[in-house]
């Protein structure tokens, strides 16, 4: 099976712009979670989608949003970018029901100038 894929791998934006990141989960996985990783804050949970519904949400402002499509692919959007949004954004997929393991993609490195 192909692993979790994320596009793009690298992105450079300026303050005030918006950005959309994409994640394709492992085939058959219905849950997609998003994390922000920074040197200062570590791994922080953004949100999780399961069967096109947001099931769980972390403590991030409303500028961070996401969605999931019927094929389980997910997108994450950040509007009005701030310098502090520079981070590695990781996507993880899992089967989503019962006990299961999260499998991570390689991440998207976002730099905000």
Partner 1 sequence: AQSVTQLGSHVSVSEGALVLLRCNYSSSVPPYLFWYVQYPNQGLQLLLKYTSAATLVKGINGFEAEFKKSETSFHLTKPSAHMSDAAEYFCAVSENSGGYQKVTFGTGTKLQVIP
Residues that bind partner 1 (CB under 8 A): 4, 6, 31, 33, 35, 42-43, 45, 50, 55-56, 88, 90, 92, 96-107, 109
Least Å from the CB of residue 77 to partner 1: 20
C-beta of 60 vs 103, nearer to partner 1: 103
**C-alpha pair distances (Å), 50 with each of 5, 23, 111:** 17, 13, 28
C-beta of 21 vs 90, nearer to partner 1: 90
C-beta of 81 vs 90, nearer to partner 1: 90
Judged by phi (left if over 0) then psi (alpha if -120 to 50, else beta), residue 6 lies in: beta
Least Å from the CB of residue 21 to partner 1: 13
* DSSP 8-state code for residue 85: G
Nearby residues of 98 by Cβ (< 8 Å), 6 or more positions away: none
Least Å from the CB of residue 99 to partner 1: 6
C-beta of 45 vs 79, nearer to partner 1: 45
Question: How far is 5 from 97, CA to CA, in rounded Å?
Answer: 21
């Amino acid at each position: 099976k192909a692993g979790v894929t994320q596009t793009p791998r690298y992105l450079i934006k300026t303050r005030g712009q918006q950005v959309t990141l994409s994640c394709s989960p492992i085939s058959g996985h219905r849950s997609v979670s998003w994390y922000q990783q920074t040197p200062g804050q570590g791994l922080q949970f953004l949100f999780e989608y399961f069967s096109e519904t947001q099931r769980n949400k972390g403590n991030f402002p409303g500028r961070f949003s996401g969605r999931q499509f019927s094929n389980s692919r997910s997108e994450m959007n950040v509007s009005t970018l701030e310098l502090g949004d520079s981070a590695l954004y990781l996507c993880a997929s899992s089967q989503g029901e019962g006990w299961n393991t999260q499998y991570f993609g390689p991440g998207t490195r976002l730099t905000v100038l």
